[in-house]
Amino acid sequence: MTIRAMKTSDIEPLHRLYSRLAARIPNHPKVSLEQFATELKGFGTGRMEQRTAGAPRRAFVAVRTGLPVAFASTAVCTEGFWELATGQGVLRFVFAPPGEQEACVELIRRATARIRADGGERPMACVYGSGPGFHNWACAMVPSAWPWIGHWLCMAGYAPAGSEIRMRRVLEKRPRPIALPKGSELRVATAPESDRVAEEFQHHRHLWIDGQEAAQCHNFYEERFVRGRGKRMSYTEWLGVNEAFRGRGLGRAMLRNAVCRAYDEGCRVVTLTTDGCNFRAQALYVSEGYAQTDTMWRFGWGEEG
CATH number at residue 251: 3.40.630.30
Asked whether residue 258 falls in the same domain as residue 148, the answer is no
Tell me the pLDDT of the chain (305 aa) as tens digits. Answer: 999 999 999 999 999 999 999 999 999 999 999 999 999 987 766 667 777 777 788 999 999 999 999 999 999 988 887 788 899 999 999 999 999 999 999 999 999 999 999 999 899 999 988 889 899 998 999 999 999 999 999 999 999 999 999 999 999 999 999 999 999 999 988 665 544 556 777 889 999 999 999 999 999 999 989 999 999 999 999 999 999 999 999 999 999 999 999 999 999 999 999 999 999 999 999 999 999 999 999 999 985 43
Tell me how many domains the chain contains.
2
Asked if residue 28 is part of any domain, the answer here is yes
Q: How far apart are CA 220 and CA 270, in angstroms?
A: 10
**Model pLDDT, residue 78:** 87
Do 129 and 164 contact (CB within 8 A), yes or no? no
Asked if residue 105 is part of any domain, the answer here is yes
Asked whether residue 20 falls in the same domain as residue 138, the answer is yes
**Model pLDDT, residue 66:** 95
Asked whether residue 196 falls in the same domain as residue 70, the answer is no
Asked whether residue 208 falls in the same domain as residue 253, the answer is yes
Question: Which candidate, 300, 297, 299, 301, places its Cα nearest to that of 144?
Answer: 297
Burial-class residue 44 by CB neighbours within 10 Å (0-12, 13-18, 19+).
buried
Write out the residue range of the structural domain in which residue 87 sits: 2-164+296-304
Residues of 78-98 as b/e, b for ≥16 C-beta within 10 angstroms? ebebbebeeebbbbbbbbbee
Asked whether residue 133 falls in the same domain as residue 204, the answer is no
Please count the other Cβ atoms lying within 10 Å of the Cβ belonging to residue 277: 12
**Model pLDDT, residue 305:** 39
Q: How far apart are CA 125 and CA 108, in angstroms?
A: 10
Asked if residue 47 is part of any domain, the answer here is yes
**Model pLDDT, residue 303:** 55
Provide the CA 289 distance to its chain's centre, in angstroms.
22
The predicted model scores a pTM of 0.92
**Model pLDDT, residue 304:** 45
Asked whether residue 156 falls in the same domain as residue 189, the answer is no
